[in-house]
Chain A
């Protein structure tokens, strides 16, 4: 990272480099295609920075272990794919409830079940939001290139530390395994966020008393504060209180609101050619790359087409999309699923506007021609 020169690397490798750069000191995981290069890379890199790697007995254990590691003070992450992501959900909910910062990378593959291991998919978009039970906060980011995988991995780690919540990085197999020539930022160009610490008042520390920003300062185990962490609904002391509806409801609402009310800080997206656009493609991940080509081809045919690329999927940028799409005739949503995000975008437009999905769930990429065909059909 000291020299700034182009290097030919995979998305998964970029994720490893970003994890080290952002200060990850503990990784626990279980190998699964197509995410394994992340575990392999961190097994090699972590001991070089006095960090620790462990291959746990399963995905559930891996998720539990990174929560433990984070509570002990190490920035922690794991990586997995579809079926492994399903197994992590129970403890992902624990991390949300107990406000433990950690990052879960899901290099998506086809599903359901063991599905299509080596083939690309964007099928876990909704699982990243609703996979664990109950209402809970969700932050999920989605890179569309190798360089963006680096940037969004750093950002995922930073957001998890800042908001004290698990963050999911949704890579699709295409981005995870694609090699691109990238120039990565140097260490001093990166902004690295550290968790907010409590004032040194050992006896009066309330581990779950939030500041005005809805985030409680976090002590690490071993720093002198003796406190209790539980997945049960708890009050500011960290102990369960199931007799008081205000405590249960207040906690759940604060957990969700600390993310939802900070969309301005969390949401990232990019736009192209929106000024005169009558058709707008909204895309994310590798489908956004295809969409850019389709946009150019549509413009060549004289169809005023624009593109919105979502980098933050959750919290969903509903207000932003509502504003950006208000004068658009047609919205096209290409996804390697059967329309998981299209449903969200539908909430951002009115009945006079068209919305059309371009979807594949056969392990094949969406081609520019397919998106172009959808645009032409809608415009004819």
Chain B
């Protein structure tokens, strides 16, 4: 790692607790590179997480950090942003944290288009509690609570975010680490609710049960299954079904941002108060 990036980490909290082969460190690496690229003021940046493997990331990041309750990171982050709109707010969440218990908060933050950047560490499984299926576990995959194969349909979280109103949506993967950094950089640069799904590997709890025994196997799987948006558009719908689209999936510049809209209310009210009072 570039030496100057070390200031973004609490080096005394390392080594991290993630399992050997886990992809979360790669996403964390992409995140701090993106933060550096954008030039966010460290003292004015708050990183919020919920519960789960991904959520331990706040402990390693040298910012104002907030490790909240399960699924509620987005709610806490919304409060931080409204409590002081000058702060840059980043939410780090897992697939269970963001899409199961936190699903409601996630879609509403997207709907408001509040200026928060969210990075979901998607390892398709509940890792912290040792391998139960999550809302992003593919149908048919195995987990400790899906011993006969998962019956649930998985969410397409990026599609959900686009339809909920997020104004920036991207998906990357730890295999494509550089692209992931680019996506997070664009998300941090974006005004409004920006969302990046980072596909991560969990060889310990997902891979072992699903015939992808090592981190290398899982990365190879990512390489095989991911496809760039432009290339995917040339495929038939059936062929697309078998692929995971990565890259910048959605970006709109003209959606009003929540905090700015509320500031207009403050302005309007203070003008009114000024003329009558």
Q: Using a CB–CB distance below 8 Å, which chain A residues touch chain B? A: 25-26, 28, 47-48, 50, 52, 54, 56-58, 60-74, 76, 90-91, 94, 220-232, 239-240
Contact = CB atoms under 8 A, between A and B. Distances in A.
Given A61-B108, A68-B48, A222 B76 contact: no
B82 A54 contact: yes
Given A69-B83, A76-B83, A64 B69 contact: yes
Contacts of A25: 83
Given A65-B75, A67-B68, A69-B79, 19 more contacts: A47-B262, A54-B82, A57-B104, A61-B74, A64-B75, A64-B79, A65-B82, A66-B79, A68-B77, A72-B80, A73-B84, A74-B84, A221-B46, A222-B46, A222-B84, A226-B63, A228-B67, A229-B66, A229-B67
A331 B268 CA distance: 56
B144 interface: no
Interface string B37-62: 00000111010100000000011001
Interface string B79-108: 111111011000000000000000011001
A70 B72 contact: no
Nearest to A75: B83
B5 interface: no
A226 B48 CA distance: 13
A221 B80 contact: yes
A74 B78 CA distance: 13
Which 6 A-B pairs rank lowest in CB-CB distance, beginning with the nearest? A68-B79, A72-B83, A64-B75, A65-B79, A69-B83, A61-B75
Nearest to B10: A228
Nearest to B75: A64
B179 interface: no
Contact of B87 (A60, A76, A221, A229): A221
B43 A224 contact: yes
B63 to A, nearest CB: 6
A58 B102 CA distance: 11
B266 interface: yes
A90 B69 CA distance: 8
Residue from A65, A66, A229 having most chain B Cβ neighbours under 10 A: A65
B4 interface: no
B235 interface: no
Nearest to A219: B64
Residue from B66, B69, B79 having most chain A Cβ neighbours under 10 A: B79
B260 to A, nearest CB: 12
Residue from B42, B59, B80, B104 having most chain A Cβ neighbours under 10 A: B80
Contacts of B58: 228
Q: Is the interface of A mostly helix, strand, loop or mixed?
A: mixed
Contacts of A64: 68-69, 72, 75-76, 78-79, 105
A337 B86 CA distance: 46
Contact of A65 (B44, B76, B268): B76
Contacts of A50: 266, 270
A61 B105 contact: yes
B84 A228 contact: no
A64 B70 CA distance: 11
Contacts of B59: 228, 230, 239-240
Nearest to A63: B75
B78 A48 contact: no
Nearest to B269: A47
B7 to A, nearest CB: 10
Contacts of B83: 25-26, 52, 68-74, 76
Given A58-B104, A222-B43, A48 B269 contact: yes
B65 A48 contact: no
B65 A60 contact: no
A226 B78 contact: no
B79 A26 contact: yes
B62 A221 contact: no
Contacts of B67: 228-232
B234 interface: no
A72 B108 contact: no
B19 interface: no
Contact of B104 (A54, A61, A71, A220): A61
A325 to B, nearest CB: 41
B89 to A, nearest CB: 9
A25 B80 CA distance: 12
A204 B130 CA distance: 37
B246 to A, nearest CB: 29
B271 to A, nearest CB: 11
A239 B59 CA distance: 8
A58 to B, nearest CB: 6
B62 A226 contact: yes
25 contacts: A28-B82, A52-B266, A57-B108, A61-B72, A61-B108, A64-B75, A65-B75, A65-B76, A65-B78, A65-B79, A68-B48, A68-B77, A70-B83, A72-B81, A72-B83, A74-B82, A76-B79, A221-B66, A222-B43, A222-B44, A222-B46, A222-B84, A223-B43, A226-B63, A239-B59
B254 interface: no
B72 A91 contact: yes
A72 B87 contact: yes
Contacts of B268: 47
A68 B74 CA distance: 10
Residue from B58, B64, B77 having most chain A Cβ neighbours under 10 A: B64
